[in-house]
Amino acid sequence: MANDNQAKLSIRDLKVEFRAKGRNTVALDGVHLDVKDGEFVSVVGPSGCGKSTLLKVVTGLLQPASGGAFIDGQPIDGVPDRVGMVFQNDALLPWKTVVQNVRLPLAIKGLPDKEQRREAERLLKLVGLEGFASFYPKQLSGGMRKRVALARTFAYDPDIYLMDEPFGPLDAQTRVKIGEEFLRMWESVGKSVLFITHDIEEAIALSDRVIVMSPRPGRIKAEFPIQLARPRPFYDIRFDPVFKELQKEIWAQMSDGASGGVH
Amino acid sequence: MAEASKRRARSTSFRGREYSKASVWLGRLAVFVLLTGLWELLSGRAFNSFWLSKPSLIADRIVQMLGDGDLWYHMSATLQEAVVGLAIGMVGGTLLGIGLAFSGIFERWIYPFMMALYSLPRVSLAPLFIVWFGIGQSSKILMVVAMVIFVAFYNAFEGMRNIDKDLMDMMSTYKAKWTHKLRWVVLPSITVWILTSVRLNIGMALIGSVIAELVGSNRGLGYYITYSSNMLDTTGIFTGLVLIMLIAVALEQLVLLLERLLLRYR
């Protein structure tokens, strides 16, 4: 699926520092990462390893101390075009209805009203929420809110999807269901994804490549290409022997990190 | 069993209990009847009604004032000053709060002075405003503005600091312009805070207008109260107070209505 000769997103020698109470903490150090066009890359690692920080740099919301990120070879300066972020906590506007939330990126782009409505309705149907257009986020369950957030990002139609533990707050059952739906939706658009998670199974089931990060300061510790055929059954793939083997290896890498980095 | 546990869960949650509308209003009516009834009964029996007047006397006075047009003459003046001053103070204070929250280091320079001004007993400015603007309505409106602007400022400022950062980041990733952010995130976020400050400020606005009227005026409920006091007419004083209360209750209900309209999503 991935186009081999061109990196959509490349991160070079990235170093990010936080200054708190007069002390510098290094969150990320020497991170080197490419995401090809149409490639699905997951980053797993223990909490506090700077996974989310990595995304903040790519969205242009955070300035790195050195190194940088490039999209199509262009350095990221400010919020780049065509990058869509899915937040861990949905980031829906509580005072807007479901359909207005989905329309938001289209309204910002300045599309005509009718087109906004048509596209929002199409996407709500795609995520199975066509009857809930006039509901407020508060009236929905966590899984439904997540669907709205996904529909909104799909409405924006970015070239790169950045996802920060998007299924984190969901219960196990909903998580599998939404993951499956998202995988199906993603397979139909085939855009690049940088996916942050701490769930190894989720990472393997979704990705073309899984990256393991070490605890703070976050460094890339290992990389695993996932050679499982697509389209994949999001849940049943877990019983594949290749999957099991990968899961074991990645887990070994991750738990090893607890006793100090590899570098 | 499920029913029982549901009931228990409901009754233990803090302020989470639902009461029927009828029981709330009947209870309020009972409290009102009890208090005014006690006042009516004790006045003239337990103490001389000259000092505390009597609900029936106050009601008579209101009817009489309605008849000769005094009621509207004084009430409208106070109401106008309070509402105009409240509007100016709310808009000014809120804009100041939003502006200052966006102003970077400027905020750090200004904020302590705002708090210093806030701590002034502003009612003592009334004589100054009357020297500046005379005994007409402008000095009263200025007094009301001075009373309400700080709460408006402070609430807007705190509201700005409490805006969900994820929502702002989300808007940024969609390349929203600041006008979009203002309309979609900032204003809706601080609406709760603004409504709270309007409610707190209704009382402040009435205090401001009445105090300024007490200090120097020829019209308004404050004027009516001082006038009655000079005549040793306690019924007149209490009538003035009751009318101020009525204005406050009416304005508060208006704001509650607005709140229900604007915060439907909750």
Instruction: Establish if B8 belongs to a structural domain.
Output: no
Q: Is residue B25 part of a domain?
A: no
Q: For residue B47, tell me if it sits in a domain.
A: no
Q: Where are the strands (E) in A114-186, listed by range?
A: 160-164
Q: Is B192 on the interface with A (CB under 8 A)?
A: no
Kindly determine whether residue A83 and residue B173, on different chains, have CB atoms separated by under 8 Å.
Answer: yes
Inspect the interface and report whether the beta carbons of A59 and B265 lie closer than 8 Å.
no
Q: What is the pLDDT along chain B (266 residues), one digit of tens a residue?
A: 444 444 444 455 566 677 888 999 999 999 999 999 999 999 988 888 888 999 999 999 999 999 999 999 999 999 999 999 999 999 999 999 999 988 889 989 988 998 899 888 988 899 999 999 998 899 999 999 999 999 999 999 999 999 999 999 999 999 888 899 999 999 999 999 999 999 999 999 999 999 999 998 999 999 999 999 999 999 999 999 999 999 999 999 999 999 998 888 87
Does some domain include residue B10? no
Residues in chain B: 266
Q: How many domains does chain B have?
A: 1
Mean pLDDT lowest among A206-210, A229-233, A259-263: A259-263
Residue B108 belongs to some domain of the structure:
yes
Residue of A nearest to B176 (CA): A108
Domain containing B240 — which CATH number? 1.10.3720.10
pLDDT at B6: 47
Q: Which residues of B touch A136 (CB under 8 A)?
A: 264-265
Instruction: Identify whether B225 is part of a domain.
Output: yes
Within a domain: B16: no
Q: What is the pLDDT of residue A1?
A: 44
Q: How many CB pairs under 8 A join A and B?
A: 51
In percent, the amount of chain A with pLDDT more than 90 equals: 29
Query: Looking at beta carbons, which residues of chain B come within 8 Å of A96?
Result: 184, 265
DSSP of chain B:
-HHHHHHHHHHHSTT-----HHHHHHHHHHHHHHHHHHHHHHBTTTB-HHHH--HHHHHHHHHHHHHHTHHHHHHHHHHHHHHHHHHHHHHHHHHHHHHHHTSTHHHHHHHHHHHHHHHS-GGGGHHHHHHHHTTSHHHHHHHHHHHHHHHHHHHHHHHHHTS-HHHHHHHHHTT--HHHHIIIIIHHHHHHHHHHHHHHHHHHHHHHHHHHHHHS-SSSHHHHHHHHHHTT-HHHHHHHHHHHHHHHHHHHHHHHHHHHHHTTT-
Task: Choose the most confident range, by mean pLDDT, from A25-34, A92-101, A247-256.
Answer: A92-101
pLDDT band at A5 (very low <50, low <70, confident <90, very high): low
Assess: ipTM above 0.90: no
Give residues with Cβ within 8 angstroms of B246, minimum separation 6.
Answer: none
Residue with tokens 């402008």: B138
Domains and CATH numbers, chain A: 1-12+32-63+70-82+160-263 (3.40.50.300), 91-157 (no CATH)
- Chain A contact for B175 (CB, 8 A cutoff): yes
Domain-embedded: residue B3: no
Q: How far is CA B177 from the centre of its chain?
A: 35
Domain limits at B253? Answer: 55-262
Q: Residue B174: list chain A partners with CB under 8 A.
A: 84, 104-105, 108, 156
Q: How far apart are CA A163 and CA A87, in angstroms?
A: 6
